Structure 1
């Protein structure tokens, strides 16, 4: 048994394999077409409920070992599978928003750890403000009214209440609301 599949029966020219990752991919017709396009493969049938694949092949044109190699390569697990399981259903625009937010969060963390060493604003503090502002303003659809977003409203209210001398705290609160808004977008699109 390979880590990605188990051979259920192996008759020369006919192979039935149970493939647990088969349930993760829903485009079975394209998968069948892809494997059927291999030289020597006569027929491919996928049974998604039991996560199996039946392959009929010509012994003179396709070796069993080569066919199993193709299957293993196609269903190979990678080190980022847990991330893929979470992010696989997320739309590209939400992925971009989340990536920008993670970068801004990292810069915020860096700025706060340096704040005790350097009480005056430096280049990192300005980078945090710019990064957080860009993250917040670029979030969401381009045609939307940006002033109606909770993260922008929070940033304006926080800036007015804390003042510009506490810009890192303003950036942090705005960033946190933006992150919650991104997670809400993920939940709303049924990604999580």
Structure 2
């Protein structure tokens, strides 16, 4: 699968669509990287349409060399355990999936442990902290209006503090549903 598509090509100026730009959040690092290459004078990334505009000196660098740099750069990836499963998801959604999976596993262990012992220990507090972190770290704006946080607050009042593990399970389940909704919305978002 090609890592880029040339949209516009005139001597000294390229516009390239790079779908793998969606895996990055810091575009200034990429721009500085390419501007440090001898012959490339300016790079502008437009993340909304996943394109790069490269202004270069034709006397110092060829298009072929630029294409090689692009192919090499975008084949280098950070380790992301769920990228191959959720390939169309953004890095933020994939991080939310990993956090939610870890919290879900901890909740499962806590429920099993509670069946055999009624004693509350450090692990139970870690489960509550992990659930809170998972829920609060999901979403970008006005987090306190997210369904998972509202569910946590409502279930805390209705179930009571003595059933905090049950509150965590309900809140975590709503968080999973919200993540699945984000995945569905991201997959149906049109490319501008």
TM value normalised by structure 2? 0.57
Structure 2: gaps (5+ residues): 7-15, 19-62, 69-74, 76-80
In structure 1, C-alpha distance between the alignment counterparts of 2:160 and 2:120, rounded to whole Å: 14
Structure 1: gaps (5+ residues): 1-21, 38-73, 75-79
Shift of 1:145: 1.2
Instruction: Tell me the equivalent position of 1:96.
Output: 95
Instruction: Tell me the equivalent position of 1:45.
Output: none
Instruction: Tell me the equivalent position of 2:4.
Output: 27
**Higher Cα Rg, which structure:** 1
Change (3 A) 1:27 1:153: same
Instruction: Tell me the equivalent position of 1:108.
Output: 107
In structure 2, C-alpha distance between the alignment counterparts of 1:160 and 1:134, rounded to whole Å: 20
Instruction: Tell me the equivalent position of 1:49.
Output: none
What SS does the corresponding residue of 1:87 show, helix, strand or coil?
coil
Summarize deviations over 1:100-158 as a string: whole Å, max 9, x none: 111110100110110012212111111110000011011111xx112210000000110
Q: RMSD over aligned Cα, in angstroms?
A: 2.8
Instruction: Tell me the equivalent position of 2:150.
Output: 153
TM value normalised by structure 1? 0.57
Shift of 1:28: 4.9
Instruction: Spell out structure 1 runs of 4+ moving beyond 4 A.
Output: 28-34
Aligned residues: 125
Instruction: Tell me the equivalent position of 1:42.
Output: none
